[in-house]
Structure 1
Amino acid sequence: MTGHAWDRVPIAAQSVEAPLSQAAIFLVLGVNDGTDAITRVRDTLGGIDDLVKTVGFRDLSARLSCIVGIGSALWDRLGEPAKPCELKSFVAIEGTPHKAPSTPGDLLFHIRAERPDICFEFERILLGALGPAVTTIDEVSGFRYFDARDLLGFVDGTANPEGHEIGEAALVGEEDPDFAGGSYVVVQKYLHDLAAWGRTSTALQEEIVGRTKIDNIELDDAAAPRKSHKTLATIVDEQGNEHDILRDNMPFGRAGYGEFGTYFIGYTRHLWVIEKMLERMFIGEPAGAYDRLLDFSTAQTGTTFFAPSRSTLAKLAADKS
């Protein structure tokens, strides 16, 4: 496997760098009150790697993986002496006319595989192990749509970093050595108005997204009166350095209920990068020139987690104090 992108990410990290899969489950849970609940959660987290092996062994080609994210409030409840320096609850963004809500969540399980039944089986056993310790807040089953397109018809995730750039973009480094190898994770569930989007001309859709629809060619909007989604989601600091994030967005939907969406999940070394990206989208750059994609896509959730390195996760699981 030498030469693949995921070989060059520090081994201490969880499977943040796992390649895009055909299926995924995004499971957000709340941890119930009481020391028994905390103890059961610790015990279950300690067995995550073994559970991945147990279920994944049924079909190794399915490449089952699971990333565990821990919310700020739960981290405080665990009573650890240290906390990732940027970890906090998702801050709601009050744009005009669109808003990014903040919704609760103590645990995130990002379950990925090439087969949806493998994802389902892992989730079923996982929830059985957690039992009464948790309450399900949100559960979304995602699928890969044709050539990695979203339900709006555009290729998604084109700007993802590759190779050694994955670690630089997604994994904490020397700036917070106690939590090196971890990653901040932001999730949002968006619902699309496909009927309104379908009434929009392809030319305007491309102007809004910032790429051509058929062949995914990036469009230059430097002289445009309104910036595209692509441009607003590109973060450059005061020194002119561009900061990437690692996305593994997935479409989801229930056509019989008229529900069509995209589940956004972003992994980042610095939480402020995603915060700045969402601020530019919902408030605008300049203010008022918001991301016009939001006229068709409504954010339903917004939650922040930290996915610790494997060694840190093992320590959290073992610490029963």
Structure 2
Amino acid sequence: MPDPVPDPVSVQPVVAPVTSAALFLVGTVEPGGEKAVRDVLPDLAAVARSLGFRYPDAGLACVAGFGSSAWDRLFSGKRPPHLRPFPELRGPRHHAPSTPGDILLHIRADRADLCFAWAAQLLDKLGGAVRIVDETHGFRYLDHRDLLGFVDGTANPVGGAAREAAIVGADDPDFEGGSYVVVQKYLHDLTSWNALTVEEQERVIGRTKLDDVEFPDDEKAADSHLALNTIVENGAERDIVRANMPFGSFEQGEFGTYYIGYAADPGVTEQMLRNMFLGKGAGSHDRILDFSTAVTGSSFFAPRADFLDSPPPPPGPRAG
């Protein structure tokens, strides 16, 4: 039997199996911290290999991404053509804010302690070069449900379709193997949500709650979550890969979903968000936003793994 054709590029574990735990860290690079960040990039894979070797069944996977302004501070040469700041959206009723984010670290494993250990080693190496502006510890809830009680991730593509949706292809050889990432933190008003009947909740989502069956298109409400998040171009549905996780704090009284979407084309993700917040057709906005408030929003590019192992030179001094 012939050997499998090797992957032409080394990709970060963007399309990774669902795990029981995740740690999302968004940070800003402090003035003068660029060299420390660049110096630590080749260590990302080494730290993951060290922990992964000792705990091979834990499914440890780590992805690093960089925001638009940070990219220009860290790397010379070409930049990802579609990397841009998160587009703030102000709809008639709901707002998607754009919040600071130079670096994204998406760490996942079947053990929360390994997520913590990976982050601790990396942040120790970074010292004060990066300031963490958002830290979210996610967990798998029951049978892959969000805290609204619905299964999350059912519509994700799988296999080759997932890779095609999430990973930049050969049409962009400079950044092939990378992925555009959008993250948002949503806080749920569970009191108002749980006051709805199950049937009303199902209308908001466009899917049954107990057995996770999607409504036929002609039965979905125009402002349902699934109706507004389905993007069709030239007769074909455009997909992204979501790795959302629930999170919560009883002390702070905050419960929500950490949304993270990987895409080969960030325009697909951005169109979904425009539909949600600004509306489309008969749907004035995504009804889920009446119960879930976006409090963060940042965009990143996660380059291929060999880019991190040997990044391009730093940018030269800017003309005064």
After superposing on structure 2, the runs of 4+ consecutive aligned residues of structure 1 that deviate more than 4 Å are: 7-11
Q: Work out whether 1:308 is the aligned partner of 2:303.
A: yes
CA–CA distance in structure 2, aligned partners of residues 309 and 159 of structure 1: 25
The residue aligned with 1:22 is 20
Q: Is the 8 A contact 1:10 1:167 kept in 2?
A: no
Secondary structure in structure 2 of the residue aligned to 1:62: coil
Q: Work out whether 1:268 is the aligned partner of 2:263.
A: yes
Q: Work out whether 1:242 is the aligned partner of 2:237.
A: yes
Secondary structure in structure 2 of the residue aligned to 1:50: helix
CA–CA distance in structure 1, aligned partners of residues 219 and 44 of structure 2: 50
Query: Identity of paired residues, percent?
Result: 51
Cα deviation 1:264-287 (Å, max 9, x = unaligned): 000000010000000000011127
The residue aligned with 1:194 is 190
In the TM superposition, what are the counterparts of 1:26-65 in structure 2 within 5 Å? 26-34=24-32, 37-65=33-61
How many residue pairs get aligned? The number is 311
The residue aligned with 1:278 is 273
CA–CA distance in structure 2, aligned partners of residues 153 and 8 of structure 1: 41
Q: CA 1:227/1:221 → structure 2, altered by over 3 Å: closer, same or farther?
A: farther
Q: Is the 8 A contact 1:21 1:113 kept in 2?
A: yes
Q: Is the 8 A contact 2:220 2:227 kept in 1?
A: no
TM-score if structure 2 supplies the norm length? 0.93
Q: Work out whether 1:319 is the aligned partner of 2:316.
A: no
Q: CA 1:104/1:9 → structure 2, altered by over 3 Å: closer, same or farther?
A: farther
The residue aligned with 1:181 is 177
Q: Is the 8 A contact 1:26 1:109 kept in 2?
A: yes
Q: Is the 8 A contact 2:203 2:221 kept in 1?
A: no
Q: Is the 8 A contact 1:96 1:288 kept in 2?
A: no
Secondary structure in structure 2 of the residue aligned to 1:262: strand
Counterpart of 1:296, as a letter, is F
Structure 1 position 59, deviation (Å):
1.4
Structure 1 position 144, deviation (Å):
0.3
Structure 1 position 19, deviation (Å):
0.2
Larger proportion of helix: 1
Cα deviation 1:139-189 (Å, max 9, x = unaligned): 000000011000000000101111110121001113321000100000000
CA–CA distance in structure 1, aligned partners of residues 256 and 219 of structure 2: 31
Q: CA 1:272/1:214 → structure 2, altered by over 3 Å: closer, same or farther?
A: same
1:119 pairs with one of 104, 115, 118: 115
Give ranges in structure 2 of 5+ residues lacking alignment: 316-320
Q: Is the 8 A contact 2:183 2:297 kept in 1?
A: yes
Secondary structure in structure 1 of the residue aligned to 2:137: strand
Q: CA 1:232/1:225 → structure 2, altered by over 3 Å: closer, same or farther?
A: closer
Counterpart of 1:269, as a letter, is A
Cα deviation 1:259-314 (Å, max 9, x = unaligned): 10100000000010000000000011127621000000000000000000112222
CA–CA distance in structure 1, aligned partners of residues 101 and 201 of structure 2: 33
CA–CA distance in structure 2, aligned partners of residues 56 and 164 of structure 1: 25
CA–CA distance in structure 1, aligned partners of residues 7 and 26 of structure 2: 26
The residue aligned with 2:318 is none
CA–CA distance in structure 1, aligned partners of residues 198 and 133 of structure 2: 36
CA–CA distance in structure 1, aligned partners of residues 232 and 208 of structure 2: 23
Q: Is the 8 A contact 1:142 1:250 kept in 2?
A: yes
Q: Is the 8 A contact 1:9 1:167 kept in 2?
A: no
The residue aligned with 2:69 is 73
Structure 1 stretch displaced more, 155-164 or 75-84 = 75-84
The residue aligned with 2:289 is 294
Cα deviation 1:204-262 (Å, max 9, x = unaligned): 1001101000000001242555331011111111x112110000000000123211010
User: In angstroms, what is the RMSD of aligned CA positions?
Assistant: 1.7
The residue aligned with 1:99 is 95
CA–CA distance in structure 1, aligned partners of residues 167 and 21 of structure 2: 23
